[in-house]
A and B are shown apart, each in its own frame.
Chain A
Amino acid sequence: MQILSQQIAKLVLVMGLVALVALPCAADKLATCAPDFSRCEIPENVVLDLPFIAFAGDAVLLEPDMVTVSDVFRLFNNFFDSGGGTGLGDVAFLYSSDNSTPLPDPSTYSTNAVFLLESTSGQVTSYNGNGTDYLLGAPEPSTFGLLVAGLVALAGFTRELRGFH
């Protein structure tokens, strides 16, 4: 009984810790990028601050039919607007047809828009823009953080339970 109480208490503590880990992630819109900016994870439907200034514009992801638009990765020109959606900026958003946020109208695509096939494997689609590999459709930072923290906690908790045997 005492052991069970300890287990419940630990579970509560672990869940609290997980919540603490997850909270900052949920509040932080900074994109998860490699320190040298060679790679950035871009979840769907989250306004992201990039930790660098990028060339603005749209990367349009197409279904295998090469016509239907699946997602639009937009880098906004909030720093310098040179027209037609081009310029410089540090805000990004990945619109997805899978979610409630409507895809942008094609008439708003940037003048320098690029078109690429969405990954058919159900994994993230990799788009290399000027040396940065954008992993489009990566899990949201909060979800990802929660998952990692939960798995770590679960592993630790399981190890503890084994010790009680």
Chain B
Amino acid sequence: MYNPSLVLKKMPLIAGAVLLGCIPSFGQGVVHLANGTTVKVTVKLNRPIRLGPKQAARSASTADPTGLPFYTANYISLGSKRLPFNILGTDPSLGASTTTIPTVIVPLKFSFPNPGNPTLDGTNVVTATENSPIFLTADYTTGGTDLGVTQFGDAVLRGEFWNHPGFSQSGYHVLLGAPTIAPTVTVTVPAGMGNAFELQGGGLMGVVDNSFFDLVLNALLPSYTANELLIFLTDNVFLAPQGQLQFCCVLGFHDSQGPPIASAQTWIYSAYTKPGTFFENVIVDVQTLSHEISEWLNDPFGGTPFFGGINLVAPYVLPNTGGLCQINFETGDVLENPPVAFTQVTNGTTYHLQDEAFLPYFLHTSPSFSVNGWYSLIGTFQTFSSLCGPG
């Protein structure tokens, strides 16, 4: 447990320390442009922990007190310490239950300041996203164990708690509702805040400044409620400082408002990634969205870094990053260097999904209570995390 009084006393220092301690994980990628230029980029599916936007003041008569359905439970870390976690759905130890979370896809259409004002419209990838394993069901059999025919996020949670005492293998689900498609939001990117780039294999990729993008999202939040998941969807549009390709790319993140978590809005930004964008298609189609969905389910309140919001674990090393460490429960970050993906077919199309680490990986639970005694969905991890050394 953290010490709240110390949090208040040392907040300025902590803010700096969190940045040090939670450097976003990354992987190297390469982009080949139509003009023959090859650019090395850093592919990130996260960003540093920070306090989320404040919630709007609500009067007693305001009819929006309800947030996401989540449970809080303690799990034992490193064999001795009970750590609190906020996870979406009902407590798996209490047996069968189906939770369905309303979901809204908000397509973002960007008009770039390049000559001719090229556009990249998230509306064009809405159908592909709706038809993906994020929303449609597929069979998840891993290591010979059939987790059932379900959505990707549900498969992750079911695999995670498969052998946990009290878990109902036949009747536990956390599902995304059929998405409501919001009206497309058109964003005109000012000069210096983004660019579009022609790719060698055809098509465009867009890069937008992180801070400008945050302003866009924050302005949209009041149109939605806290009991639904917002997915801000772009068509091959990524984030980087000043929209510069050499600083690229954040492909997605999940975030939330600040406290209290009971009424905090949560959202995901995800770029639907077109084939041919990154060399060897290290990330493609809904791979980023799968990463973010799993992390949002397992740690929805990242915008409340302290005060019982974010799920903190024993500091662990991010594999293949040269020793970078992280301290929050992020199921995908440990499997993105390089990205570990597998495929599922829904509606006749093959989609790419990322392997996700399970809770026992972070708790050092042995044996793992997850499916097959494993520490990740498709078994990339057969043991728990490497702890970060002192310092």
Contact = CB atoms under 8 A, between A and B. Distances in A.
A55 B80 contact: no
Interface string B65-81: 00000000000111111
A67 to B, nearest CB: 21
Interface stretch (A21-29, A46-54, A94-102, A155-163): A46-54
A18 interface: no
- Scoring B17, B315, B390 by chain A CB atoms within 10 A of each residue's CB, the highest score goes to B390
A83 interface: yes
A110 interface: yes
B20 A86 contact: no
Contact of A53 (B21, B78, B314, B364): B21
A127 B10 contact: no
Interface stretch (B1-9, B34-42, B173-181): B1-9
Given A75-B390, A79-B14, A87-B315, A131 B3 contact: no
A128 B17 CA distance: 17
Contact of A112 (B3, B79, B390): B390
Contacts of B313: 82
Contact of B391 (A83, A87, A127): A127
Interface in B62-98: 76-81, 83
B32 to A, nearest CB: 34
A82 B77 contact: yes
A136 B325 CA distance: 23
Contacts of A81: 1-2, 81
B171 interface: no
A58 interface: yes
A88 interface: yes
B215 interface: no
Interface string B296-335: 0000000000000000111100000001010100000000
Given A86-B78, A90-B10, A128-B391, A55 B83 contact: no
Contact of B390 (A51, A53, A114): A114
A57 interface: yes
Contacts of A80: 1-3, 312, 327
B387 A73 contact: no
A32 interface: no
Interface string A66-86: 000000010100111111101
Contacts of B391: 54-55, 57, 59, 75, 127-132, 134
19 contacts: A55-B325, A55-B390, A59-B389, A59-B390, A78-B6, A79-B14, A82-B81, A83-B76, A83-B79, A83-B80, A83-B81, A83-B83, A84-B79, A88-B21, A88-B327, A111-B78, A111-B387, A112-B387, A130-B389
Given A78-B3, A80-B327, 5 more contacts: A57-B389, A58-B390, A81-B1, A82-B77, A88-B315
Interface of A: 37, 51-59, 73, 75, 78-84, 86-88, 90, 110-114, 127-132, 134
Interface of B: 1-3, 6-7, 10, 13-14, 16-18, 20-21, 76-81, 83, 312-315, 323, 325, 327, 364, 387-391
**9 interchain residue pairs of minimum CB distance:** A129-B391, A83-B81, A57-B390, A53-B17, A83-B78, A84-B78, A112-B387, A82-B314, A83-B77
